[in-house]
Amino acid sequence: MRRWIPYTLLVVSFLILTYVTLDRYISDEGPMVISQTSQTSGNNSKNVKIGGPFTLVDHTGKKVTEVNYTGAYKLIFFGYTFCPDVCPTAMQTVSDVLETMGSKGEKLQPLFISIDPDRDTPEILASFLENFHPKIIGLTGSQEQIRNVSKSYRAYFAKVQEQNEESDDTYLMDHSSSIYLMGPDGEFIKIFSHGAPAQKLANELQSIL
Amino acid sequence: MKSKLVKAMAFAIAIMFFAFPSWAISYTSGNIVVSDPFARATAGPARVGGAFLKIHNNGNQTEHLVAIVSSISDQASIHQSLEVNGIMKMRPIDSLEIPPGETVVLKPGSYHVMFMGLKGRLKKGTSFPIRVVFKSGARVNINVPVLGPGAKSADPKR
């Protein structure tokens, strides 16, 4: 009978070890690709390249590339104007950050890149942005251009197919909600997650800029 | 004697001002109290809009928010914003539970009233009526003020 004790102990400790390992593995290495890893280390840009050249149209209808914004620290958000919750919240946060930072924020260039180019024409972007900080630039483009830019930023977006709706103009989009901070030469610096308060962003940006 | 009364009234009014700021509006119907509603102004051509509010259940039964009735849009529903691995998703929900004695807050990043097919632009400074409908049959008619497009709470100062 005694002989079973060490064996049982071994099995139990093995089970505990497996559980602990799995638990760690699952919570740390989940499907989260960029937002989590890059939040923990700002140098992640060396491993996963984020960002790159793009050709888009701004909210005044002018064709632009990444070169237009060289020299500025860019705060980039991917969203769409038909979004009633997350996107206006993010733009309000960015507006508050610019407001809070005052002259220090002059080095910042916020870019709102539409992931819904079918609906977001330059005019619609302009009308969406007119109520936020005037420095925010809206960018849109062809489906292909938007696919390319979001791919280079590893930003995810997908149209949600409504089960009961015929294809009208009220569809929803799933999209990455993070704000990317890119350096003056387009180098990736870090990602801020959605919901970070404006004051916290402003403080962090003060120390980086 | 008269001046005492005036003083007492002035004091009462002052208390009311401090205790109930002008933006703290609430509507009661039976056991349900709906408060602090606000909608976000929409961009010119956008045909969707969002509104937020608080619902408190004073009763001892769970209430279920099941519908929003409004004439400002073709459809109104309750949506939930969910962040899943850095991806923001927004989905309609059929019913929102308000447990007895609790307050459920519809706020940015969580639940919101979603208006689809808006008949006109929601302009800052205006307001519109909606009816908040519960499974129990309770219904609360409220007036929703339109705040800025990035408003995060019913308090205009924030």
- Residues B147-157: tens digit of each pLDDT: 988 898 887 65
Per-residue confidence (pLDDT) for residue A4, from 0 to 100 = 62
What pTM value is reported for the model?
Answer: 0.76
Question: A interface mutation test: which of B72, B79, B88, B122 has the most A CBs within 10 A?
Answer: B88
CA–CA dist B30, A53 (Å, integer): 59
Judge whether residue A189 has pLDDT over 50.
yes
By C-alpha distance, the chain B residue nearest A192 is B86
Q: Select from A81, A131, A169 the Cβ nearest to the Cβ of B148.
A: A131
Find all residues with CB under 8 Å of A66, minimum gap 6, and list them.
A52, A53, A54, A186
Per-residue pLDDT tens over the stretch B54-91: 999 999 999 999 999 999 999 999 999 998 888 899 89
Segment (H or E) for A144: helix A143-152
